[in-house]
Amino acid sequence: MLNFLNFSLKFIIIFIAVVVFFIFSTLWYFSIGLPDYKKLSNYQPPISSRVYSEDSKLIAEYALEKRLFIPFESIPEKVINSFLSAEDKNFFSHPGIDARGILRAVINNLKNIAQNKRLEGASTITQQVAKNFLLTNEVSMKRKIKEAILAFRIERAYTKERILELYLNQIYLGQGTYGIAAASLEYFDKSIKDLNYPEAALLAALPKAPSKYNPYRYPDLAKFRRNLVLENLADNNFITENQLTSFKLLDLKLKRRKIEIINEANSYTEEVRRTVKNIYGFEKLYSQGLSISTPLNINYQIQALKSLRKGIEEYDQRRGWRGPIANKIQNKNWENKISKYKLDPTLKWRVVELISVNDQELLFKTIDKIEKKFEGTIYPKNIKWTLRQNKSLSDLYEVGDILFAKKEKNIWKIKQYPKVNGGIVVIDPYKGDVLALVGGFNFKTSEFNRVTQAKRQPGSAFKPIVYAAALENGFAPNTIILDAPFVESQGFGLKNWKPENYGKKFYGPTTFRKGIEYSRNLMTVRIAKILGLDKILKLSKELNIYEDIPELLSVSLGAAETTLLNLTSAYAPFVNGGKKINPKLISRIQDRRGKTIFLDKKRKCVGCDKFIDNEDELPIIESTNKEIISKETAYQMTSILRGTVERGTAKKLKSLKVPLAGKTGTTNDNYDAWFIGFSSNLVIGVYIGYDNPKSLGKNETGSKAALPIFKDFVENALFKEDFKDFNIPKNIYLTLLNYDTGLKSAPGEKNSIIEALKIQDINNINNKNLISILGSDKMIMFRQFY
């Protein structure tokens, strides 16, 4: 008997040793190559980056996953209790794995194996953290063992609160949402602090099978699963039996989250996205939760898009009606033709089919995929632009024709998708803030940005740069320039270059001012020749108009290529006193914790470091931008370009009766049309042209194609009180001159204008270029003749 007991004791000891050895060997084997759990200490969940307008409205969001991070201390008890009841009620008491849960899973899985069903798990929240962060979703014993080992290690390294924080911010809850904060907004449009128990229970019901229990698709299944969680809450004494009874009777109350993103700002935000991605990289933009502030003015942006589209449509209508998209009766592939057009929802166009045609009206029905379907009528008086050469409705339209139509002021009109395109940009000339930017007619069809990416010849819109360089080097607004034929040799074996004025006329001796107001090519070339091309190229480089400039005289007529953004920015010094600006679409970037990682600083505060004893010592904000031209030259150019509005190629703006200045631009054969204009606080640039360059057509100049877009924006986006007179520098002398001769004029004399001259030139009376001193009251006329 004693021997038997000794044998049994030895057997038990050996058995225990073998089991212990087996367990430790297994743990050692599976511990090899396990992921490092310590990286969880620095884990930052990927969250979306957001872009905001100047008034802090959300205008764009960039993310790979819908996720918002929320720290443990901000998570309500209702949410914590619901998830613990649904997923791991012993979470705060177990060491990482739940022995009872494992035993239950083993018994159930023996049945599942016999019935060829999917194995179920007994994972604790800690194990799910190990799986979600460090392992794969593979269903196998090998992964479960690794999961358990990691769970033990995680429990030793981190607090329960940290583990739960990681879990609740990482878990997938359907509808593309990750984490409880994003899911609460997706399903209830609420912050998690505002959730009640039935809502929190629904969220806790989702991790088991987010697609199966999706409340939008399968509300009955979702409600069933929610009620199971509510029962668990009652079993764990988090809610009473009375509450359980009333909660289970409640229907699901869902409310989809609506993010009001300004679709009109797509061109702007895409440029911001490209910039941030190029600087900080894809991962930081899409997963590090950047907060990007921009100077975008939403009202300006919306109106800029409207004005550009209106101008493009008006141009396209002048080119005539090109016919319907297709005919449903005659063309079997009509749906394919429609699918080629990806319309931006902000257009508000409908796809319609004509169901009746006569010379008095067109009856149609909507056939697009927009839910609300209806019929309507289009009358001839509202589509006159399609009825050319005495054509009637029945000549041009047939039953079955498929068209675009839009209701404007309660009137249905036919729309034609334009082939031409363009851009518009609005800039603060003092700070360089890009307040609005539209890169094309329809962003959904083409993301190509014609403000920042399209390089085109600016034509006459470049001339103010030539004239500014001349004013900086001794020319004056009343300098006489010869408008006559000009011939320039281009080298051996090449034809001589013979530029011409628009209209091919010559005007003889003409004042400097008049040359730019009427955009005289021959005067501009002659000024460039006398001045020296090097001075013009130097100024254009300093203003960032061009990168590589050919040293050709034709550059003075805008023959080199640039972007609308660069050229518009180059006009800012005329407004701000001669200082260069760098256009900016981003004001500030902050990381997920609110730390500023980028801040645009172009101004300094003089006196901010002192104590203020009286109002005379208040700090002054000064721009740190470099002065490119003098204040006096800047004002002279402003004065001359105001003359373009008063008398010259931009006189269509005169009817607005507000202080405006600007310059039209048209390239050879009317390939491109430009208008750059400004007030005392805004610079606005407009470009119109084809993406594959070709002529816009006869008479389609900057004045006809581009300027009306500028005018429409000014009329609808600005108020009279937004306009102030341009600042006049101290060293500018205003005097009365004859507009045609540049000579002194008497008050009331016909053809007189107020001219701006530089006072410092009074001291240069002996300059060889000065011809005469007129008057006895120090009114000095500088008249150079070239």
Q: What residues act catalytically? A: 87, 460
CA distance 653 to 638: 15
Dihedral sign of CA atoms 690, 694, 699, 701 in order: positive
**Encoded amino acid at 42, one letter:** N
Between vectors from CA 44 to CA 40 and to CA 50, what angle results, nearest 5°? 170
Residue with tokens 């550059």: 555
| Integer CA distances (angstroms), 75 to 78, 84, 85, 129, 204, in order | 8, 13, 16, 18, 13
φ, ψ of residue 522 to 5 degrees: the values are -65, -35
Tally the C-alpha atoms within 13 A of residue 137's C-alpha that lie toward its C-beta.
Answer: 2
Instruction: Give the separation between CA 706 and CA 4, rounded to whole angstroms.
Output: 108
Interatomic CA distance for residues 568 and 546, integer angstroms: 12
Phi, psi at 674, each rounded to 5°: -130, 155
- Side chain identity at residue 189, one-letter code: D
Distance of alpha carbon 786 from alpha carbon 783, whole angstroms:
10
Cβ–Cβ < 8 Å for 362, 378: yes
Q: Encoding tokens for residue 295?
A: 């100077």
Joined together, the tokens standing for residue 479 give 């300098």
Backbone angles phi, psi at 776, to 5 degrees: -110, 0
Residue 311, CA distances (Å) to 96, 441, 692 in order: 67, 10, 19
Asked if 97 and 91 count as a contact pair (C-beta separation under 8 A), the reply is: no
Tokens 């254009």: give the residue. 540
- Four-residue CA torsion sign, 126, 130, 132, 138: negative
Closest CA relative to residue 544, chosen from 566, 563, 572, 568:
566
Phi, psi (degrees; rounded to nearest 5) at 112 = -65, -40
